[in-house]
Amino acid sequence: MRKPRDFDGELKALQDKARDLKSRKVQQLGELVIATGADALSSHELAGALIVLAETKEAGKREAWARRGAAFFQSRPRRNAPTTDRNADGAPAQSSGGQPTPSRKGAA
């Protein structure tokens, strides 16, 4: 005979996992606000800007924002990877003594 499934235990485990994921999402959003410098804005300014962004339906604007966001993340080194092992593109650094990659857009 098969062992009956513990639906209550499985449901509790899923609820715990959902709570942990939501908590991690909130923490990552806070880290993103700080990393972008948006923590200098008041909560009203930040909320207003986010509302406008969420309400925008223009594909061109959204694509431009996505490109700018991707460039932001590519220009920032990951915390878990030493900067000597990675360049701004995330590819392994070359030891051939090539020119250093600028870390900020517009740096020359």
d(CA 43, CA 40) in angstroms, rounded, equals: 9
Query: How many alpha carbons lie under 13 Å from residue 47 in its C-beta half-sphere?
Result: 3
Q: Name the pLDDT band for 78 (thresholds 50, 70, 90).
A: low
Q: Name the pLDDT band for 80 (thresholds 50, 70, 90).
A: low
Structural domain of 52? 7-75
Judged by DSSP in three states, 82 sits in coil
DSSP annotation of 83: T
Write down the pTM of the prediction: 0.57
d(CA 41, CA 29) in angstroms, rounded, equals: 15
Residue 97 lies in a domain: no
Residue 25 lies in a domain: yes
Residue 96 lies in a domain: no
Residue 56 lies in a domain: yes
Residue 20 lies in a domain: yes
Total domains, the chain: 1
Residue 68 lies in a domain: yes
d(CA 1, CA 25) in angstroms, rounded, equals: 42
* pLDDT for res 104: 42
Residue 104 lies in a domain: no
Residue 92 lies in a domain: no
